[in-house]
Amino acid sequence: MAPSDISARALVRHAVATIAYRAGKIVRDAPQSYVDFAAGKNCRTPVQILTHIGDLFDWALSMAKGQPAWHDSEPLPWPDEVQRFFDTLKRFDDYLAGSETLHASPEKLFQGPLADALNHVGQLAMLRRLAGLPIRGENYYKADISTGRVGKDQAAPNFEFD
């Protein structure tokens, strides 16, 4: 398929898979010292950020279904919050993969909840570094990111560096 042949809906699905891959690398095997790390006064901790990202994907799904609703969730214990994150991605991706009508444009879904989630994934990576637990850098262009792969099980990195 030529790059110009991808639909907007398919590109949003690939963005969701990209978020799953990048965030999965950050949250995998994260110690409690990272989960509760506070970079400063009035800064969200990683678990609070991950909770917010889950809320973003719940919101994205509600908009896609034509029933926009926002909920501020209370953080769960880290393993449960990580599972919730991947579950929210899957529910949203499953809807995008289906034939149901999108009640929000792919462009609005990308510029709103998905772009916000990408921003927060970057924050999670930076907080790992600040907490003294950095992840290895990676050439994400070479990463094996596949549309529809939005769970915990992600491909191994192809090209990491320090």
Q: What angle do CA 104, 107, 113 make, to 5 degrees?
A: 75
Say if 149 falls within a structural domain: no
Say if 33 falls within a structural domain: yes
State pLDDT tens for residues 108-123.
Answer: 999 999 999 999 999 9
Identify each DSSP E strand in the chain by its residue range. 137-138, 160-161
Say if 160 falls within a structural domain: no
Mean pLDDT computed over 91-113: 97
DSSP 114: I
State pLDDT tens for residues 20-70.
Answer: 999 999 999 999 999 999 999 999 999 999 999 999 999 999 999 999 999
pLDDT of residue 3: 62
pLDDT of residue 2: 61
Say if 146 falls within a structural domain: no
pLDDT of residue 36: 96
Mean pLDDT computed over 151-161: 95
Say if 147 falls within a structural domain: no
> What CATH number has the domain bearing residue 119?
1.20.120.450
Say if 145 falls within a structural domain: no
Who's near 138: CB < 8 A, 6+ residues apart?
Answer: 25, 157, 158, 159, 160, 161
Q: How far apart are CA 10 and CA 147, in angstroms?
A: 8
Say if 19 falls within a structural domain: yes
Say if 150 falls within a structural domain: no
Q: Is pLDDT of 4 > 80?
A: no
**What's the per-residue H, E or C state across 41-77?**
CCCCCHHHHHHHHHHHHHHHHHHHCCCCCCCCCCCCC
Tell me phi and psi for residue 47, to 5 degrees. -65, -35
- Structural domain containing residue 120: 9-135
Tell me the pTM: 0.96
Q: Total domain count for the chain?
A: 1
